[in-house]
């Protein structure tokens, strides 16, 4: 890991366009290693959320099956969030978020030790993300999306209730979570 590399990173791949459209390189081992991201991705996931304001999260996998994630929106727009859940971190319970869209092409790298969630901002959003470990149901965990101790400023219009899974309606609050994640001396910093 590069010294002073932030744990959560917003990545804006360059697009090369002409009259036909554009081309972009969304993942390259050497380019990501230069950013301090040296994990090996072993699973790709793809989700479709039909209603606007579908909220998925806040999710993680616990050790020894923790997952680094590289998230991008390939259709529509989402508000993507990472919450620090590393025991002993000076930024424990703090969050960062960014809009990812098919139009802007931005990606969010979320390492092990962070809960992840996203809110769709329009109908028919598709999200694709890489994971550094396969799905392990026995290690599956989460935190409530609306925990006031975290205070995520989800861009949900007044009077709208987000679409939630049954699982996400009953996740524990941060205060009731005994974190197995260990702080790695890299505090959460604002996204550039």
DSSP output for 140-153? EEE--TT-TTT---
The pair of structure tokens assigned to 44 is 């790709």
Pick the closest to residue 110 from 188, 34, 4 (CA basis): 188
Per the annotation, the verdict on 135 as an active-site residue is: no
Exactly one of 27, 46, 59, 183 is catalytic; name it. Answer: 59
- Rounded to whole angstroms, how far apart are CA atoms 76 and 52? 10
Per the annotation, the verdict on 129 as an active-site residue is: yes
- Asked if residues 113 and 85 have their Cβ atoms less than 8 Å apart, the reply is yes
Exactly one of 92, 106, 116, 129 is catalytic; name it. Answer: 129
> Residues with catalytic annotation?
59, 129
């Amino acid at each position: 890991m590069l010294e002073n590399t932030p744990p959560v990173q917003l990545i804006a791949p360059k697009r090369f366009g002409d009259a036909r459209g554009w081309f972009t390189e969304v993942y390259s081992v050497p380019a990501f290693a230069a950013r301090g991201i040296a994990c090996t991705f072993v699973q790709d996931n793809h989700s479709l959320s039909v209603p606007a304001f579908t909220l998925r999260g806040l999710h993680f996998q616990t050790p020894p099956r923790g997952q680094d994630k590289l998230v991008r929106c390939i259709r529509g727009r989402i508000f993507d969030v990472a919450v620090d859940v590393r025991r002993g971190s000076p930024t424990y319970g703090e969050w960062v978020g960014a809009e990812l869209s098919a139009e802007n092409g931005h990606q969010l790298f979320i390492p092990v030790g962070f809960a992840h969630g996203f809110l769709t901002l329009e109908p028919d959003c598709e999200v694709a993300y890489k994971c550094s470990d396969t799905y392990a149901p026995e290690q599956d965990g989460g935190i409530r999306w609306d925990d006031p101790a975290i205070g995520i400023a989800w861009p949900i219009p007044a009077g709208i209730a987000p679409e939630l899974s049954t699982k996400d309606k009953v996740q524990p609050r941060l205060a009731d979570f005994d974190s197995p994640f260990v702080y790695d001396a890299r505090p959460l910093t604002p996204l550039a």
